Chains A and B, each alone.
Chain A
C-alpha cells in the first residue's frame, strides 16, 4: 500500500534531524497584531519542546494517551504540540470555544468527544479552567485532568537537563501520531487517527508534487484544529524544513490584509485558503491597506477545503494582480482528513483548467460543453491525483463511470487514515474494498478531476464542516416547533463565497408576533452551539417531505423550499413561508 519503499521514519526523527541540520534556521514565525513577530529557530523549538515533554511526563502524561490542546493563538502552541509527540502522547488540537457557545454545550461536546476518542488530558489556558473543571468530577468523562502549559515558564519549573534527556520517547512508523476531529458540536465528530508514517509520507509526496524547495515559505492564518492548517501549513513545512509564518485566525478575520502583509514582508511563496477567503479578501480589504504590498513572491495560492468557485478566484486575481499576483499562482486542491490531506492538486505554475458546462446536462450526470442559450456553470479543476492516490468515479451501485460522467468520488491512498478511533461501524461504512467513499460528487476530464457537489448532507461553511443533525437537535425541543419536524441545510451564498445555514421548521403558530418570536428562538438555539443561522423558513404542519427511512429528507425539502421561495411573492428576507 505504501508509495515510498523502505523506511520513511517517524515525524519525531525528522524534526530532530532538522534541528541538528539547521539549528539556527527559522522553523516557525508566530505573528500577533501590533507585536514583533516571535521566531522559533529549529534549535529553540526542539529544546523547548523537550523541556515541555519532560514536564508533561512528570505530570503524569503517558505514551499513547490522547492530549486535547485547546488554546488561542499562542507562541507556546508549537513547542507544546511537538512536546506531546516527544512524550509519546497523541495530540488532538480542538477549537477554542467561541464566547457565544454555551458552557454546558461546550462541556457536553467535549464529554461526547472524550467518550468516543478516549481523551485523557486537556492542555489549555487558565481562562478555561472554570468552564472545564466540572468535566473532571462528572463520572461520565474519560478526562483525567487539566494541565496549563501555556501560561509561561511555571509549567516547566523544576524540569532540569536530566529530564530533557528522557524527554523523547521512541516511536515507530505505525504508531499513531495525531488525532483530528471532524467538525460538529455534539457527539457526531469522527476522530481520524493518523500514523507517523501516513503524515510523513504524505507531506513528502505532496511536497514533491508542489515542487517545494529551500526557498519556499508558507504563510497561514488557518486554525490548527483544521486539517488544512495542521497538515498543510504546519506539518508539511516542519517536515520539509521550510519556514511557516502563522497568523492568528481571529485577527485575520478582523483584518484579512494581514495575510498579504505577511506574504509581502517575508517574501512568502505558498498559502492554502478556503474558497470564502478568496471572496472575502477581494471584497473587504481596503485599497490603502495594499500600499507597499508586493505579491510577486507568491507562487501558489491554493484553493482548498470548499468547492472552488470560478467567480471568486477571478475576483481575487483581478483585485491583487496589480500588486504582483501572477495568474499562474492560482491553484486548487481536493483534500480530506481521511487521506491525511491532499488527494488531487493542480501542478505548480499552471492555472486550474476551467470548463463551461451545460447546467441541465450536469444535473443529469453528463458533462457537456455549454452552447449558446444554455445555462452555464464554470467548473474549476481540482487537479490530478498526487502520487500514491487513486480515484474512481462510480454510480450509485458502485459501477465505474467513464470520463465526463458525474458520480461519487472513491479514493484509495497510500496514506489513508487508520480508521475512525473507537468507531468501527463508521469506519466500515466509509470504506468499500479498500476505497474510501468520499460522499463527494465529481467527474474526470482528461487526467484532471472536478469536484462539483456532495452526496452527504454535511454543510461546509468557510471551510468548516457542519453537521445538520447538531443544529436540528438544538431546535427540536423549542416550544412552537413540531417535534421531529425540522431540517437544516446549506444554501449557496455567492457573495460570501461559501454556504449559509438555513432551517426549515414546521409550526402550527399562525400569529405573526408568535412566528417572529419563534424565528428568533431558532436563531438563538443556533447561537448556543456557535452556529449562525441565516434563513429560517417556517412552514405549516405536514409540509416536510419524508425520506424512505421515515425522517424528513434534507435534500428533498431543501429543493422544495428553495423552489417555493423563488416562485413565491410571499417570501421575505427572514424566510417566511406558509
Chain B
C-alpha cells in the first residue's frame, strides 16, 4: 500500500497532477521519472518524511513498494 504522503512527494517532484502509483510501479512507467529526475524524487521523499537514504539503499530500489518499505523502516527506527 502506497501512502498518500509518499505519493504526494513523488508526484510533486515530478510535477504531475495525478498518476496511479502501486507497489509494483517502476520509475519507467511514470511520466517524467527518468534517471535525471530520480535525484529530485529521492530528495523530495527524504524531505517529506525527515529521513535520509544512503546511496546504496537508493541504488537497490526497484519499485515504489520498495521505496515505501524503506521509508517505513526508517520511520520505525526513528521511534
Question: Which residues of A line the B interface, CB within 8 A?
Answer: 33-34, 98-100, 250-251, 253-256, 258, 276, 280, 284, 462, 496, 520, 523-524, 527, 532, 534, 573-574
Contacts and interface: CB of A to CB of B under 8 A. Distances in A.
Contact of A254 (B28, B29, B31, B42): B42
Q: Which of B27, B37, B39, B43 has the most CB of A within 10 A?
A: B39
B23 interface: no
Nearest to A255: B55
Nearest to A261: B55
A523 B31 contact: yes
A253 B59 contact: no
Q: Which of A100, A258, A523 has the most CB of B within 10 A?
A: A100
A99 B17 CA distance: 24
B35 A250 contact: yes
Binding site secondary structure of chain B: helix
B34 A100 contact: yes
A527 B59 CA distance: 22
Interface of B: 15, 17, 26-29, 31-32, 34-40, 42-43, 55-56, 58-59
A573 B27 CA distance: 22
Contacts of B15: 573
A185 to B, nearest CB: 14
Contact of B35 (A33, A98, A573): A98
11 contacts: A34-B59, A99-B28, A100-B29, A250-B35, A254-B38, A276-B36, A284-B39, A284-B40, A462-B36, A532-B34, A534-B32
Given A284-B43, A523-B31, A253 B26 contact: no
B39 A256 contact: yes
Contact of A532 (B26, B32, B40): B32
A33 B59 contact: yes
B20 to A, nearest CB: 12
Contacts of A256: 39
A439 to B, nearest CB: 25
A536 to B, nearest CB: 10
Given A33-B55, A251-B59, A99 B39 contact: no
A99 B43 CA distance: 22
Given A253-B35, A280-B39, A98 B59 contact: no
